[in-house]
Every structure is written in structure tokens, then in C-alpha cells.
Chains A and B, each alone.
Chain A
Amino acid sequence: MGTDPKHLEVTLETQVESVNLAEEMCLRVAEAAGFGEDDCYKIGMSVREGVINAFHYGNQERPEKKIHLAVDLTGDKMIIHVLDEGTGFTLADVPDPLAEENLLSTSGRGIFLMRAFMDEFEVMPGRTGGAEIVMAKKLPLQKNPGANGKGSQGATPPQGA
């Protein structure tokens, strides 16, 4: 118990390359936190989808806008925040991609995948007026810092909360 929470945040450009960058960064944190291959895949995909959502829907691919990504490692979970500078959206307004009429849609599955792959998922109004996606994955028990007291080595952030 009592392990200090870790916090990492970066500001990303609104460009396709930011999607891979965000995924790679969060994968490193997840691996260092002890997540297994399957969970890392799900976390990486979820980060990817969150940043795609910010890039495309939130910021409308406008390069003057930024994407704010933050990762928190607490004693029991990894929390990821993706904040855009768009106009925000309400989860209830997002069409269900599994509905018969949406199955052949070429978009609209990102939110669904994040909800499916993470343990917690919500969207809230962001401090910059856009949408803030907040999603979390519980740490694997054998690597839970609260259980072994060693913390999440390798996930030390470059800056404080």
C-alpha cells in the first residue's frame, strides 16, 4: 500500500502520427506496470481509438488544435485521459455500431471498442471545451503495487500531476 501514484501527460499535434505515438507511449507504461500481452493489446487499441476520436471527430483534423493525453497509474489501475479541443459530444448520441442498420457503416466503432476493451469508460466535458475520454484498466493482481509494495518500475513520469 502507499505507492505514489504516477502521472504522465503529453500534448499531441492533430495529425495521424499522433495516434501511433500515443499508442506506443501508453503501451510502454502498460508493459512496465505489468499488464500481459492481451491487456496491452486492449489498452493500446483503446488509446489509439481515443486519439483517433480526438483527431477526427473532436478536432476535425484541424492542425491548430491539440490533443491532450494523460496517463495515471494508481495503486490499482491505469487511467487514461484523452482530451480534444472540439465541441464535445454526448455518449447517448453515439449510434450503436452493432445495430443492424449500422453494421455496414464505415465508421463509428471507436467508442464501442474502447468500452469493450477497458474496465471503465466515460466521456465528460473537457476543460478546453472539448470532450474528455477517461478510461481505466485494473492492474493485474500479481503486479499490483498495493500487493507487492514495489510500485510500477519503469513508468516514472517526466513531470508531476
Chain B
Amino acid sequence: MALRATHRDAGRSTVVDLSGKITLGEGSALLRKTVRGLLDDKRTHIVLNLADVDYIDSSGIGELVSAYTTVKGRGGDLKLLHLTKKVHDLLQLTKLYTVFDVYSEESAALSSFQ
């Protein structure tokens, strides 16, 4: 399933609800475009809600890392929310679970930006 992305503001933060696959091609490109669009709008506190993302390939992993470093580079922060088991296992396998801040509750992810 192609990736879909919608976003909603929550105070100073923005939650991006993603669904589908983050893979080479359109999925990775949409994630990149969405995050860069938010940064252009000065939305630098971003939560990626991955509840409906059950497939990420190495290109998608790279795009998540790119999003993380780009947001950090703009003085903001990027958190991950609601990992599916496959995505959780993939981030553990690649040791990225130790890099990203991962949350299972949206309220906790939002309050972490203090």
C-alpha cells in the first residue's frame, strides 16, 4: 500500500500520521517532502505516528534517519510513536532503537518536547 501522510498540530508540536509502506520511491519521497514542508513552516517539534506503517525497507530506514538528522539540524526534535512489531524489530536490529526517542503514548511523546 502506498504511503499516506496527514499532519495535525498539537500546540507547538506536529503529529504526522503515516499509513502504508515507507520504501524506496514514493514512500520515502513523501516522508521527506512532509518533514521538509513542516520545517519550512517552522514546525520543528515533530512526532511521526507509525501505528499504521507495517513495512519499512532500508531506503525507508534511511529516510527516517535523514528526517531525524534534518530536524535536529534545524534545532528541533523528531520522535517516533506507536511502532508496529515489524518496525520495532527492524529498529532494534539496526540499533536505531537507541537513536530515536520512541513512545507508545501520544501524550508522552508530545510532553517530551519540553
> Using a CB–CB distance below 8 Å, which chain A residues touch chain B?
16, 19, 41, 45, 48-49, 52, 97-98, 103-107, 109-110, 112-113, 116
Q: Which of B6-14, B40-48, B88-96, B106-114 contacts A (4 or more CB under 8 A)?
A: B88-96
* Between-chain CB contacts (< 8 Å), 30 pairs: A16-B24, A16-B25, A19-B25, A45-B57, A48-B24, A48-B57, A49-B57, A52-B24, A52-B57, A52-B59, A97-B94, A98-B94, A98-B95, A103-B95, A103-B96, A103-B99, A104-B65, A104-B68, A104-B69, A105-B62, A106-B62, A106-B65, A106-B66, A107-B62, A109-B58, A109-B61, A109-B62, A113-B57, A113-B93, A113-B94
Number of interface residues of B (CB under 8 A): 20
A106 to B31, CA, bound (A): 14
Residue numbers in A under 8 Å from B62 (CB-CB) = 105-107, 109
* Nearest CB of B to A38, in Å: 9
Query: Chain B's interface: helix, strand, loop or mixed, by majority?
Result: helix
The chain B residue with its CB closest to the CB of A48 is: B57
Query: Which chain B residues in 63-89 approach chain A with CB under 8 Å?
Result: 63, 65-66, 68-69, 86
Inter-subunit contact A41/B86 (CB<8 Å): yes
